[in-house]
Amino acid sequence: MYKRKKRGTLKPHKSSIVLDLKPILVARNILHPSAYLLKIGVNSFTANKMLKGEAVQINFRQLTTLCLHLNCTPNDLMALRQMDLPETHALNALKVLSETTPTTVTEWLKGKTLAEIEAMMKL
């Protein structure tokens, strides 16, 4: 009997680049993230893993769907855990994963200048 090998043993806490949907969902004022992800075609198992920060892989169809519906780029969806990178490394362009995610749009905009908010609205 042939036993299928697992794709990998990468655990969410060991991955350095992670999917971080909470900030973009807050920015888009999406109150029911699970329902929203189901509505755009992400299955419930995957949606729950994505929202809990437990997703260790994402396929291009899912990534494209998220970017199209959230009007964002893949960089907006990804975050970087602590990594020891050279200052000039391209991965430094990713946002750093934060343990404290804003829960409201007002909280998310807090501390930003008017110019920064205007620049975000032009996206």
- State the average pLDDT over residues 46-53: 89
Percent of the chain with pLDDT over 70: 78
Predicted confidence band of residue 100 (pLDDT cuts 50, 70, 90):
low
Tokens of 95: 């946002």
Environment class of 19 (CB within 10 Å of its CB; exposed 0-12, middle 13-18, buried 19+): buried
pTM for the model stands at: 0.65
